[in-house]
Amino acid sequence: MIRFGIAATTALALGACVSTADEKDDADAIVIGAAIAKTGFMASFDMPVHHSLQIAVDKANASGGIDGRPIRLEAIDNKSDSTQSANAASRLIEQGADLLIVTCNFSTGGPAATVAQNAGVVSFAPCASDTRFGPLGLGDLVFNLGMSIPTEGAALADYAMKKGWKSVYTLTDTELDYPKNTCEAFEKRFTELGGKIAGKDVFRNSDQAIASQVSRVSRAGEDAVDALVLCSYPPGGAMAALQLRQGGIDLPILANFGMDGDYWAKSLPQLSDFYVISPASIFGDDPKPEVNQLLADYRKKAGGNPPTGSFVYGATTFQLIKQVIEETGGTDGKKIAAALEQSKNLQTITGPMRFGTDYHVDFEWDVRVLKATGGRFSYAETVVPRNARALVK
């Protein structure tokens, strides 16, 4: 969800990196197609996934592949565009992709997942939040491997209450469904927990200024508001955070996963009292040693830090793919989907995952909370939201 330069820089670091197998084994290779954003506003979420998936593929190939078959990872840049996304998916499937990775945003990744569904190919949206990636939306061969919108909303609400922020002001970016629906899920769970929405306002990611919104937050009075909840993504979300602080709003800001990372905060070198949720910390201090090891591998391979915690999703995706191919003995779409639905103990770097027959997403997550102090982000704590599934719209 990023338009900043780091996306293109990171993409170039590994953009040409593709797994290869010996030519004699090529016909037997398992081909993972990736119709993803190497450029455009989704690149800072899709590319960390791609890089860590490449790391997992390379390691597997060095150990004999999956069931003795080599793995090939082929990617086409959809440029964060929905039409290009569908075209990329079609090309990859025509070229023999057995499984498909799609962009994590519904409006961009959805068209690619639909192409895969119609072709009988299982697709994965590794870092998506929208529950429409699945049987009740795009189809029974589509899986969402990220923290869902209900999970994010519940985690934000639980953490706000834990911090004693019982009266909050919400500022919602309405450019995409993702931030809008996340704040709606937050508001529902927060009020269920006894919290008060002291005020709410909206803006669009493309807005150049939010002076009116900042004024309304200020008029709400800091005595009546404990914190501000921001549902957005850069660059608009970064602009909002900057203008809130410039406008004298010193309230704690609690933000959704779309605001993960520190690359967008360069214009806020002293940013403090800012909290954001993520599946993992990119700062080397995640509570899971295996996540920190993956981060070290990522830095070595990509030549730099991932922009967001979505880098863990590439490893998660490969771990799931490996387990179900070994279980089913192949890449048949229906068999893989059935195995994912029926398995109750799928182990991944982000924890055990389970999928239902209605929603192809796991609502149970150990959600990281990261905190900025003096412009430096670090891991703060883990939140385990309860009954997030109840927040599905």
Query: For position 25, what pLDDT does the model report?
Result: 59
Residues in Cβ contact with 29 at an 8 Å cutoff, skipping those fewer than 6 apart: 21, 69, 70, 71, 72
Q: Is 40 left (phi over 0), alpha (psi -120 to 50) or beta?
A: left
Is residue 380 included in any domain, yes or no?
yes
Q: Is the pLDDT of residue 233 over 50?
A: yes
Residues 274 and 377 in one domain: yes
- What is this structure's pTM? 0.89
Q: Is the pLDDT of residue 374 over 80?
A: yes
Is residue 16 included in any domain, yes or no?
no
Is residue 231 included in any domain, yes or no?
yes
Examine residue 235 and say whether the peptide bond preceding it is cis (omega within 30 degrees of 0).
yes
CB 359 within 8 A of CB 131: yes
Cα separation values, 360 from 144, 288, 292, 303, Å = 6, 25, 28, 34
Measure the CA–CA gap between 57 and 71, rounded to whole angstroms: 6
Residues 173 and 258 in one domain: yes
Residues 180 and 255 in one domain: yes
Q: pLDDT tens for residues 275-316?
A: 999 999 999 999 999 999 999 999 999 999 999 999 999 999
Q: pLDDT grade, residue 27 (50/70/90)?
A: confident
Residues 226 and 296 in one domain: no
In the chain, the percentage of residues whose pLDDT exceeds 90 is 90
Q: Any idea what the CATH number is for the domain that residue 266 is in?
A: 3.40.50.2300
Is residue 66 included in any domain, yes or no?
yes
Is residue 93 included in any domain, yes or no?
yes
Residues 227 and 376 in one domain: yes
Residues 193 and 56 in one domain: no
**pLDDT mean over 45-60:** 96
Query: For position 15, what pLDDT does the model report?
Result: 42
Report how many domains make up the chain: 2
Residues 383 and 239 in one domain: yes
Q: pLDDT tens for residues 9-19?
A: 344 344 444 44
Question: What secondary structure letter does DSSP report for 303?
Answer: S
Q: Is the pLDDT of residue 21 over 60?
A: no
Beta strands 274-278 and 367-373 are: antiparallel
Is residue 18 included in any domain, yes or no?
no
Residues 221 and 95 in one domain: no
Residues 252 and 377 in one domain: yes
Q: pLDDT tens for residues 120-136?
A: 999 999 999 999 999 99
Query: For position 193, what pLDDT does the model report?
Result: 98
**pLDDT mean over 103-108:** 94
Residues 135 and 247 in one domain: no
Q: pLDDT grade, residue 222 (50/70/90)?
A: low
CB 388 within 8 A of CB 148: yes
Is residue 23 included in any domain, yes or no?
no
Residues 306 and 179 in one domain: no
Give buried/exposed letters for 106-128 (b at 16+ CB in 10 A, else e): bbbbbbbbbbbbebebbbbbbbb
Is residue 135 included in any domain, yes or no?
yes
Domain that holds residue 195: 150-286+368-391
Query: For position 223, what pLDDT does the model report?
Result: 74
Look over the chain and give the mean of its residue pLDDT values, rounded to a whole number.
Answer: 93
Q: pLDDT grade, residue 389 (50/70/90)?
A: very high
Q: pLDDT grade, residue 26 (50/70/90)?
A: confident
Query: For position 231, what pLDDT does the model report?
Result: 99
Residues 176 and 110 in one domain: no
